[in-house]
Amino acid sequence: MVDAHQVNTIIATTLCAFFERLPDAQIGTEEAKLLAKQITEALNAAGLQIVPVAPANTRP
């Protein structure tokens, strides 16, 4: 994983955007950050890695 904080921020932002469209089910920023951290930890525990994709012009 490149930067855990950056990954958590991306996931938390996505969670907030998702719940923004659901008036009956809201999530706060702090809750989204905690959930994002748990998601990242679960992915790591499963052996998955989040890595940046090389730009198309540098791929083999």
- Residue-wise pLDDT for 1-25, tens only, equals 468 889 999 999 999 999 999 888 8
Compute the distance between CA of residue 50 and CA of residue 16 in angstroms, rounded to an integer: 20
Q: What is the mean pLDDT of residues 31-48?
A: 94
In this prediction, residue 60 carries a pLDDT of 62
Domain limits, the chain: 4-58
pTM of the model: 0.78
CB 33 within 8 A of CB 12: yes
- 47 pLDDT band, cuts 50/70/90, is very high
Among residues of the chain, what percentage have pLDDT more than 70?
92
Rg (CA), the chain: 14
SS (H, E, C) the chain: CCCHHHHHHHHHHHHHHHHHCCCCCCCCHHHHHHHHHHHHHHHHHCCCCCCCCCCHHHCC
